[in-house]
Chains A and B, each alone.
Chain A
Amino acid sequence: MAEEVKKAPRPVDPNSAKYKLGKIAGDAYANAIEAKKAGKPVAWVSSNFPVEIPETLGLYTVYPENQAAGIAARGAGERMCNVAEADGYSNDICAYARISLAYAKLKECPEQDVAMPDVLLCCNNICNCMIKWYENLSQELGIPMIMLDIPFNPDYEPSRAIIDYVGAQFWDAVHKLEALFGIKWDDEKFKAVTEASCRSSRAWLEATAQAKYTPSPFNGFDLLNHMAVMVTARGKEEAGEAMETLLKEYKENHENGTSTFRAEEKYRVMFEGIACWPYLRATSRGLKDRGINMVTTIYADAFGFDYSSFDEMIAAYCSVPNAINLEKSRDKRIKLCKDNNVEGLLVHTNRSCKLWSGFMPEMSRQIGEACDIPVASFDGDQADPRNFSEAQYDTRVQGLMEIMESNKEA
């Protein structure tokens, strides 16, 4: 039998955004592992906890959601979920939580190893499952958990009272960490971190906004990968630089009539929800083969933490996707659909993320009506592969495409 010749992966240009972003994400994991070996403190941090705190204090960080996504994308989601379920965690619990709890027990997973934590930084602005997940980590690992409580905001804008409440907790978290590790807050460093975070955010917002062009200069699935840096490293100097490279590349693509979407762009959709990591290839191929480019997602807006004062920074953390009411969430998405000439909405009904998926049927109905676009949804899960059917996905995507096609003909 002829031996299979594996194609060597194409070398990535070290000056490209892809290389720079990949390196930042990879370095963050590696640096935390090295730091741990050297006896320096490592924090596990929830994705929308203010990065300004660990970054200013010089703490090494690991983002368990990001780790779980990596593990799921590399095919180990089910194995890790099974470990957690065997310990009694229900399979109704978010798969990111199950994977992370399994990792805390096993302390290894070749698909994405991380440094073990000395402290947990938890913020519930994305969901309350986060609290129990981190409390359990804290119990199992015997380490402290610092909680920043940002409740769901039923009003359109965060009130003065909420900003004061969260602002006070911000400083409380800082003081606790100072006392825990004998470290000192430095206002100058804080200023530099906030500047870096805003710089990354501005470039990210502008880069993702390049989808306003038809064809879009990028495949929206790129955003799902690049966003890792916005989650984990937006407060770092090099993140701003890499995001600006991304923006430059997208602008050049537009000028040269090229795109990272490697097919003819016949239709443009918005993708709603977390990626279906275990089936990233199947979900992206199902779109690409039909000439459907996912040009935007709420992530394009969600990590735009651009602010000019402490209060504005706190307000930004109170305004992340899962912390805001239906009307505001809807309006942000309608804006993205309109700015980017979206012709259809594809909703991932994500079994893991109850909060996000729970208000989607009504929200997507309202978006569909406001933008006069068809909406299709499919079942899946961000990390547990047992909740997805490729045939079901395919039929719905095709149905969506056929409506978009007949809308074009009309």
Chain B
Amino acid sequence: MYTLGIDIGSTTSKCVILKDGEYVYAKGLAVGGLGTQGPEIALNTIWNESGLTKSDIARTIVTGYGRNRFEGGDGEVSELTCHALGGRFVFEDLRTVIDIGGQDAKVITLSESGKMSNFVMNDKCAAGTGRFLDVMAGILCVDINDFEKYAEKSKSPASISSTCTVFAESEVISQLANGVEMPDLIAGICDSVATRVASLARRAGVRETVCMSGGVARNGAVRKAMEKELGVRIEFDPLAQYFGAIGAALYAHRQLTR
């Protein structure tokens, strides 16, 4: 039995087909979230990759900010539940998920049995989210995927004291003008995101095993900064960005087999 999970976020769309709720049969990701062609492109990717068609899918669950507006799903579930389910699918002892997405950051706690027990999310401010990193990458003209490489070379991370994205932007520009080295600047930016999100994590209560999900999870510099900040190991899996979609597909499977 195939189930489909679609995660329509603010900046990307992800789709996952699970076979028998056991393994990832196909996955697709497209830039562009709610209100763009993103969901369609991601879906086309998985149809092409899997050779399956819509009629092969037993149930489709949609999650993410675009979940309410997407037509063609059999139901919708919040990304909170989906990240918890998806994370637990990959890490079986998972108790804490730190998800940094395009426009929000959330820390989800799971009970021993794997149920979501609570969550804490960022306030309306973009600091501590993927958007903050995107804006900084833009100013520095550095590909965000290279952040880790740069940060590794840092000897003394710059201090970015503004939490406001707009203020931080001018702070970074003036540090650049003052000759602060790129690696130190990038390490400082990653530290700033990590401290913001770590305080959310402390509020939620950190229990191991901890993992990161969402697009920013791929950024090793942020992950490492967060490990240092929280004093725990933070697991990472290349599927991290798909946890929401995996969770949705798993939810669909559970609904059918319960």
Min CB gap A368→B, angstroms: 7
Binary flags per residue of B104-142, CB closer than 8 Å to A gives 1, else 0 = 100000000101111101011000000000000000000
* Contact present for B80 and A391 (CB under 8 Å): no
Give the residue of A375, A376, A379, A410 whose beta carbon is less than 8 angstroms from that of B124. A379
B149 at the interface (CB under 8 A from A): no
Give the residue of B80, B121, B124 whose beta carbon is less than 8 angstroms from that of A402. B80
Which residue of chain B has the shortest Cβ distance to A387 in the bound complex?
Answer: B124
Binary flags per residue of B78-105, CB closer than 8 Å to A gives 1, else 0 = 1111000000000000000000000010
Give the chain A neighbours of B118 by CB distance below 8 A.
368, 374-375, 403
* Contact present for A395 and B81 (CB under 8 Å): no
Give the chain A neighbours of B117 by CB distance below 8 A.
374, 403
Give the residue of A361, A374, A376, A406 whose beta carbon is less than 8 angstroms from that of B203. A361
* Contact present for B116 and A392 (CB under 8 Å): no
* Contact present for A389 and B124 (CB under 8 Å): yes
* Contact present for B65 and A402 (CB under 8 Å): no
Given A395-B80, A402-B77: A349 and B123 interface contact (C-beta under 8 Å): yes
CA distance A396 to B79 in the complex (A): 10
Given A361-B203, A387-B124, A391-B65: A406 and B80 interface contact (C-beta under 8 Å): no
Given A361-B203, A402-B81, A402-B116: A395 and B123 interface contact (C-beta under 8 Å): no
Total contacts A to B, CB within 8 angstroms?
Answer: 46
Give the chain A neighbours of B203 by CB distance below 8 A.
361, 365
CA distance A361 to B203 in the complex (A): 8
B48 at the interface (CB under 8 A from A): no
Give the chain B neighbours of A135 by CB distance below 8 A.
none
**Please, how many residues of chain A have a CB less than 8 angstroms from a CB on the other chain?**
22
A153 at the interface (CB under 8 A from B): no
- B:194-243 near A, CB below 8 Å: 203
**Can you list 29 A-B pairs with a CB-CB distance of less than 8 A?**
A349-B123, A361-B203, A365-B203, A368-B118, A375-B118, A376-B119, A379-B123, A379-B124, A389-B124, A392-B121, A394-B68, A395-B80, A398-B78, A398-B80, A399-B78, A399-B80, A399-B81, A402-B78, A402-B80, A402-B81, A402-B116, A403-B115, A403-B116, A403-B117, A403-B118, A406-B115, A406-B116, A410-B113, A410-B115
Min CB gap A91→B, angstroms: 14
- A:323-360 near B, CB below 8 Å: 349
**Please, how many residues of chain B have a CB less than 8 angstroms from a CB on the other chain?**
18
- A:15-69 near B, CB below 8 Å: none
Give the chain A neighbours of B115 by CB distance below 8 A.
403, 406, 410
Which residue of chain A has the shortest Cβ distance to B116 in the bound complex?
Answer: A403
CA distance A379 to B79 in the complex (A): 18
* Contact present for A392 and B124 (CB under 8 Å): yes
Min CB gap A287→B, angstroms: 14
Min CB gap B202→A, angstroms: 11
CA distance A377 to B77 in the complex (A): 18
Give the chain B neighbours of A391 by CB distance below 8 A.
65
* Contact present for A395 and B116 (CB under 8 Å): no
Give the chain B neighbours of A398 by CB distance below 8 A.
77-78, 80
Min CB gap A391→B, angstroms: 5
Give the chain B neighbours of A394 by CB distance below 8 A.
68
* Contact present for A395 and B78 (CB under 8 Å): yes
CA distance A399 to B113 in the complex (A): 18
| Other A-B pairs beyond A377-B121, A399-B116, 5, CB < 8 Å | A375-B118, A376-B119, A395-B65, A398-B77, A403-B117
Binary flags per residue of B166-194, CB closer than 8 Å to A gives 1, else 0 = 00000000000000000000000000000
Binary flags per residue of A250-261, CB closer than 8 Å to B gives 1, else 0 = 000000000000
